[in-house]
């Protein structure tokens, strides 16, 4: 698979110290906070995220603290389907799926590729388009629909920002196309892979930007 030059350079630097050439998956550990709405208290979490290298698939499993109860969240995508599941003390209280969620979850996988440079090189489901030397689009087919994300690289060749149009749930059965994106920073080598260890995710709403996820990568391991 031929990569755009900016991404090829990113991958070469990211995997310069990699312990293996082509693992089947990569797993990272995270900690951070999420905000459900503006002005709300940030909810602390710890999480483990599993990324497939050769296909568009991931699973994010998080445990939230500070709620007076044990809340576990599973967020993922595989084989054309997305999943969002909430459990309290191990009992499932909410489960979402459907085409809107599937496209959104596939978009998340694409946006988080800076953590998985192995997939940039080995995932044949990805479609690449170079816009200019600092801007590259990556896309994938999701059950006949196209999910796409734009990477914005800084002067050093690192992916500093991602942007996309993503469906945001605004009601029980209502979704709205909304500008969405994230910032990456603090590149380090973890598990032999050079990757950003700090990230923030946000929606760009009519009343301004709403950052709702902030986290750090603590460790990474090829599988």
Structural domain includes residue 223: no
Structural domain includes residue 122: yes
> Rg (Cα) of the chain, in Å, rounded?
17
Tally the residues of the chain. 223
CATH number at residue 125: 2.50.20
Number of domains forming the structure of the chain: 1
Q: Say if CB 208 and CB 202 are below 8 A apart.
A: no
Structural domain includes residue 13: yes
Domain of residue 119, residue span: 5-218
**pTM: predicted TM-score of the whole model, two decimal places:** 0.96
Structural domain includes residue 114: yes
Q: What is the DSSP track for 34-96?
A: E-SSTTPPPEEEEEEEEEESSSS-EEEEEEE-SSSS-EEEEEEEETTEEEEEEEETTEEEEEE
Q: What is the pLDDT along the chain (223 residues), one digit of tens a residue?
A: 699 999 999 999 999 999 998 999 999 999 999 999 998 999 999 999 999 999 999 999 999 987 788 999 999 999 999 999 999 999 999 999 999 999 999 999 999 999 999 999 999 999 999 999 999 999 999 988 999 999 999 999 999 999 999 999 998 889 999 999 999 999 999 999 999 999 999 999 999 999 999 999 999 999 9
């Amino acid at each position: 698979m031929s990569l755009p030059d900016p991404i090829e350079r990113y991958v070469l630097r990211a995997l310069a110290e990699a312990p293996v050439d082509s693992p089947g998956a990569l797993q990272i550990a995270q900690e951070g906070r999420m905000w459900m709405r503006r002005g709300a208290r940030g909810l602390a979490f710890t999480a483990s995220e599993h990324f497939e290298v050769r296909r568009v698939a991931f699973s994010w499993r998080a445990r939230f603290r500070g709620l007076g109860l044990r809340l576990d969240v599973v967020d993922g995508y595989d084989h054309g389907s997305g999943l969002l599941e909430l459990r309290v003390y191990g009992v499932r209280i909410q489960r979402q799926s459907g085409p809107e969620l599937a496209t959104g979850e596939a978009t998340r996988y694409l946006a988080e590729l800076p953590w998985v440079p192995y997939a940039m090189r080995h995932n044949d489901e990805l479609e690449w388009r170079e816009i200019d030397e600092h801007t590259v689009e990556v896309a994938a087919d999701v059950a006949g629909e196209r999910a796409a994300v734009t990477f914005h690289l800084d002067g050093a060749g690192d992916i500093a920002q991602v942007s996309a149009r993503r469906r945001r749930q605004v009601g029980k059965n209502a979704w709205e196309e909304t500008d969405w994106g994230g910032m990456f920073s603090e590149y380090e080598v973890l598990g032999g892979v050079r990757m950003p260890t700090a990230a923030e995710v946000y929606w760009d709403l009519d009343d301004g930007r709403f950052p709702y996820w902030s986290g750090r990568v603590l460790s990474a391991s090829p599988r």
